Structure formats: C-alpha cells, structure tokens
Amino acid sequence: MAREGRAADRYGALAPQEGRRTRQISTARETHRVVGRLRKPHGQHGEVAVVPLVEHPGTVFVPKARVYVLNDAREVLAGPLVVTRRRAYHREWLLGFEGVTSRAAVEEWRDQLVAVDE
C-alpha cells in the first residue's frame, strides 16, 4: 500500500522557494504557550472557569503556576498570575489566583486565552 501510484516527492516537506520571504512566528520577546480558554467568572471570590486546550491539564494548572491572560492577538492582558486554588469541574477547571478576590476583577477576562511561559 505504501507508495502505490504516488509521486515520490508529492507529500514531502517543501523548502522555502528562492526569492520568497518566510515569516518568523515567534518573537525575540517572551513567548507563551496557550493552554486554555478562560470561559467565565465562577462564584463571587474571583475564581474563573477554564476550558483546557492541553491533554493533561492537571500538570499545567498546579498551585504556584504562573499563568497569563492573552487576547486573540496574543497580547498579554494580565499576568503573571499565580494559581492558588484549582479543581476539576465537569470538563473545565476552576482556578483561583493570588490577590484576585472578586468577580469584578476577572469579569473583563471572559472568553480570553490562558497561557504559560514556554
């Protein structure tokens, strides 16, 4: 079944063509790895509901982990935030952060991205 009737180089990796520019995706500044989507505030004590975008969120959302809140353009809106509380809640994780004690403080982060340092 392997290579039956197919050109040998049809599915191989392509080298950049001469004269074309290639984009550099990461910048020289800090880079962040997106690990979840902050869905909404939860409760009155500053906790947030996060939908994980990683395979093992229990290893990412640990106490004392430093996370950032990013917008869709990957600009930092808040952080670094230190995780103080975490618990699994259905298919989401509820996170609490050091120094964040009210729902109003996290309301503006609704539907933003959660990231960690790479």
CA distance 60 to 40: 19
Q: Give the CA count within 13 Å in the CB-facing half-sphere of 82.
A: 4
Q: Against a cut of 0.85, is the pTM above it?
A: no
Residue 10 lies in a domain: no
Residue 69 lies in a domain: yes
Residue 82 lies in a domain: yes
Residue 65 lies in a domain: yes
CA distance 58 to 48: 16
Q: What are the backbone dihedrals phi and psi of residue 58, each rounded to the nearest 5 degrees, phi first?
A: -65, -25
Residue 12 lies in a domain: no
Residue 4 lies in a domain: no
Name which of 1, 114, 100, 118 is nearest 42 in CA terms.
Answer: 100
Residue 8 lies in a domain: no
pLDDT value, residue 26: 36
Phi-psi group of 58: left, alpha or beta (phi > 0 → left; psi -120 to 50 → alpha; rest → beta):
alpha
Residue 45 lies in a domain: yes
**CATH number (domain holding residue 50):** 2.40.30.60
> Mean pLDDT, 10 residues at a time, over the chain (118 residues)?
53 50 42 90 88 88 92 88 91 90 89 90
pLDDT value, residue 8: 52
Q: How many domains does the chain divide into?
A: 1
